[in-house]
């Protein structure tokens, strides 16, 4: 038996894109949000440095420059019509957030304060531009809190700690979802006219990651199982500045404020790799440069990490060398970057004001995901056919604005812009659509899968399988890839999938069975890891976050196209929407 609910619109996931969609949809139709976490636990809250919008509060800026930077950052794989929407609407979206009460930092004249960020430039001078609107270094936290506050104000209906485990798609029309109420273990069928998937990323495929334990890609994994494709899964971002060994993110805002990378010889090595943008080159470029230094024996003490240096006297030294009049002191750095300074003090036991910080690239963000159009409608295949009643936004989705590599701050722009567009479009759809019938048995497949795990008598430990998966992904599907590495990874993943069929869990109960839910999530991770490796193997070129040492150049003749990967591992492609910007060689 399952409990039954009916809503016009369902939003799955309560991070930035989900809450934005819910706020806008609930203005006109009966809407509910289903989230496996309390909304304020969502990983939007971990975003630090800022949200880009060409407000021009500090210096001249234009949304068209933001658009060009985004396309260039994406190594020309971004769909440029989507990028135009992103960058144009970023401006009103940020103003919208301010009006909702978001406590942005302010300029001396009371406007929203902005700062520099990787890859964001003045297109005329080619120098970094102050475009990232910020609330100290907890911008994502403030976005999440503000959107949740607005949802409370507007009486949005929440089902907190309900986890989606299946979707109801019949005859190409999405009709609802099936979720587990974690507190009781009971299944609930949510019958709806439309569903928005805003379930976030899947960084837990890797070991060294900035991602939360809960980021297991539940939405994209279920999409695959519904025989729908995922787009551009080979493009995964490794953020250059994770805390060594832990992967906890240190925002690019540190470098926006002047911090630099230093190798074992004390060199500011980014000057060699990106002569103009230097330490503010795009993330893929910085992460590769770090590992090139490590391979050249320039890692600290010969090991696999370098330093991020934000000691004020060093920052000032480099400002001076660059001919910049800017100067900082310890108080300024502490005010602008309080959280990440605390992370370093707590987790590394060192003070970044007096010591350089050991960092290494950390698995951070999925550029790929569930393919959508500009209104967040989910696409059924490479021809642009839409799955009726199904929407996706945020990191779970691929619209595609980030192309082969996302610029810093653009994830927050993405969630508010496309969360809002999706919410509005979904509400319009619900106003004219009818509820389509669902079967009394809609929950039985999910029930069978969960009972299968609960009652399995195998000998394999889910914890062990997860550990091995993450090890192989770190080793073979990381910053540098080759055919050989990807083939090894695929073989290992497939063998782990076989072992997964024979797992055993300890908790056989119903209430708060996280043993069961983690095992179910592991199934999602395995499917997504496979999709990532398969997509990476097929793309025999290097572009943005996907770097093939055996194919080190970008190949626009053969690969200026989006990958669509399916559950049986076959791949189809669709063209990139090119607009004003023809692909050129990328230099920072």
Partner 1 sequence: MKVHLKIKRFNPEKDKKPYWGEYDIEADESDRVLDALQTVKWTIDGALNFRRSCAHGICGSDAMRINGRNALACKLLIRDAVHNGAITVEPILGLPLIKDLIVDMEPFFAHYRAVMPFLVNNNEPGERERLQSQEQRARYDDGTKCILCACCTTSCPSFWARGEYVGPAAIVQAHRFIFDSRDEGAADRLEVLVEPDGVWRCRTVFNCTEVCPRDIQVTKLIGEVKQALVTGKID
The residues of the shown chain that bind partner 1, judged by CB under 8 A, are: 37-38, 40-43, 45-46, 94-95, 98-101, 103-112, 135-136, 138, 141-142, 145, 149-150, 152-153, 183, 212-214, 246, 248, 339, 343, 346-349, 461-464, 466-467, 505-507, 509-515, 518
Are 583 and 553 contacting, i.e. CB atoms less than 8 angstroms apart? no
Half-sphere exposure of 402 (CA within 13 A, CB side): 37
Q: Which residue has the tokens 């800022």?
A: 50
Q: Is 46 or 174 the residue whose CB approaches partner 1 more closely?
A: 46
SS (H, E, C) 426-438: HHHHHHHCCCCCC
Q: How far is the CB of 149 from partner 1 (least distance, A)?
A: 4
Q: Is 111 or 483 the residue whose CB approaches partner 1 more closely?
A: 111
Are 456 and 491 contacting, i.e. CB atoms less than 8 angstroms apart? no
Q: Which residue has the tokens 């567009």?
A: 421
Q: How far is the CB of 175 from partner 1 (least distance, A)?
A: 30
Three-state SS for 367?
coil
Tell me, yes or no, if 283 is annotated catalytic. yes
Q: How far is the CB of 253 from partner 1 (least distance, A)?
A: 15
**Six-digit token string for 367:** 């550029």
Q: Is 346 or 557 the residue whose CB approaches partner 1 more closely?
A: 346
Q: Is 145 or 372 the residue whose CB approaches partner 1 more closely?
A: 145
Q: How far is the CB of 227 from partner 1 (least distance, A)?
A: 30
Check 131, 255, 283, 499 and give the catalytic one.
Answer: 283
Q: How far is the CB of 518 from partner 1 (least distance, A)?
A: 8
Q: Is 495 or 514 the residue whose CB approaches partner 1 more closely?
A: 514
Q: How far is CA 490 from the centre of its chain?
A: 23
Q: How far is the CB of 40 from partner 1 (least distance, A)?
A: 5
Half-sphere exposure of 170 (CA within 13 A, CB side): 14
Q: Is 135 or 379 the residue whose CB approaches partner 1 more closely?
A: 135
Q: Is 277 or 526 the residue whose CB approaches partner 1 more closely?
A: 526
Interior angle at CA 211, CA 409 and CA 189, nearest 5: 105
- The CB density around residue 506, as the number of other CB atoms within 10 Å, is 10
User: Which residue pairs, CB below 8 angstroms and at least 24 apart, start in 164-167?
Assistant: 164/12, 164/34, 164/36, 164/199, 164/218, 164/219, 164/222, 165/218, 165/222, 165/446, 165/449, 165/450, 165/520, 166/222, 166/443, 166/445, 166/446, 166/449, 167/195, 167/222, 167/223, 167/226, 167/390
Q: How far is the CB of 520 from partner 1 (least distance, A)?
A: 13
Interior angle at CA 477, CA 473 and CA 482, nearest 5: 140
Task: Point out the residues that are catalytic.
Answer: 283
């Amino acid at each position: 038996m399952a409990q039954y609910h009916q809503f016009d619109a369902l939003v799955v996931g309560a991070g930035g894109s989900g809450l934005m969609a819910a706020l806008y949809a609930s203005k006109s139709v009966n809407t509910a949000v289903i989230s496996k976490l309390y909304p304020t636990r969502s990983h939007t809250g971990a975003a630090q440095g800022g949200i880009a919008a060409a407000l021009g509060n500090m210096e001249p800026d234009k949304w068209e420059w933001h658009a060009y930077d985004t396309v260039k950052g994406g190594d020309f794989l971004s769909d440029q019509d989507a990028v135009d929407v992103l960058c144009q609407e970023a401006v009103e979206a940020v103003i919208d957030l301010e009006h909702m009460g978001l406590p942005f930092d302010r300029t001396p004249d009371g406007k929203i304060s902005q700062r520099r960020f990787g890859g964001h430039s003045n297109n005329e001078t080619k120098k970094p531009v102050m475009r990232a609107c910020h609330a100290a270094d907890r911008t994502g936290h403030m976005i999440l809190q503000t959107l949740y506050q607005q949802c409370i104000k507007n009486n949005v209906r929440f089902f907190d700690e309900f986890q989606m485990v299946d979707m109801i798609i019949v005859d190409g029309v999405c009709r609802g979802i099936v979720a587990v109420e974690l507190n009781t273990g009971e299944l609930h069928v949510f019958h709806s006219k439309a569903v928005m998937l805003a379930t976030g990323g899947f960084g837990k495929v890797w070991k060294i990651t900035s991602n939360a334990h809960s980021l297991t890609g539940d939405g994209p994994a279920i999409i695959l199982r519904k025989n729908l494709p995922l787009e551009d899964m080979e493009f995964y971002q490794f953020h250059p500045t994770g805390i060594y060994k832990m992967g906890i993110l240190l925002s690019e805002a540190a470098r926006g404020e002047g911090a630099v990378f230093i190798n074992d010889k004390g060199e500011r090595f980014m000057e060699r790799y990106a002569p103009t943008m230097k330490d503010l080159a795009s993330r893929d470029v910085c992460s590769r440069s770090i590992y090139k230094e490590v391979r050249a024996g320039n890692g600290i003490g010969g090991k696999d990490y370098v330093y991020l240096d934000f000691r004020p006297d060093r920052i000032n030294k480099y400002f001076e060398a660059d001919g910049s009049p800017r100067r900082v002191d310890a108080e300024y750095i502490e005010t602008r970057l309080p959280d990440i300074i605390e992370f370093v003090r707590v987790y590394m036991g060192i003070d970044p004001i007096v010591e350089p910080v050991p960092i290494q690239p950390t698995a951070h963000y999925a550029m790929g995901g569930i393919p959508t159009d500009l209104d967040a409608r989910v696409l059924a295949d490479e021809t642009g056919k839409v799955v009726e009643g199904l929407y996706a936004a945020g990191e779970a989705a691929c619209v595609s604005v980030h192309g082969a590599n996302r610029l810093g701050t653009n994830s927050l722009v993405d969630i508010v812009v496309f969360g809002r567009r999706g919410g509005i479009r979904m509400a319009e759809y619900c106003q004219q659509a009818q509820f389509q019938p669902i079967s009394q048995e809609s929950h039985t497949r999910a029930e069978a899968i969960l009972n299968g795990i609960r009652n399995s008598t195998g000998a394999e430990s889910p914890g062990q399988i997860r550990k091995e998966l993450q090890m192989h992904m770190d080793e073979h599907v990381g910053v540098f890839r080759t055919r050989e590495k990807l083939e090894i990874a695929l073989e290992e993943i497939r063998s782990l999938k076989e072992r997964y069929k024979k797992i055993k869990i300890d908790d056989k109960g119903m209430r708060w069975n996280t043993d069961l839910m983690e095992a179910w999530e592991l199934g999602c991770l395995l499917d997504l890891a496979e999709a990532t490796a398969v997509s990476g193997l097929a793309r025999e070129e290097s572009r943005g976050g996907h770097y093939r040492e055996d194919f080190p150049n970008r190949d626009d003749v053969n690969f200026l196209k989006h990958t669509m990967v399916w559950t049986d591992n076959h791949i189809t492609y669709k063209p990139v929407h090119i607009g004003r910007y023809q692909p050129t060689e990328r230099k920072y």
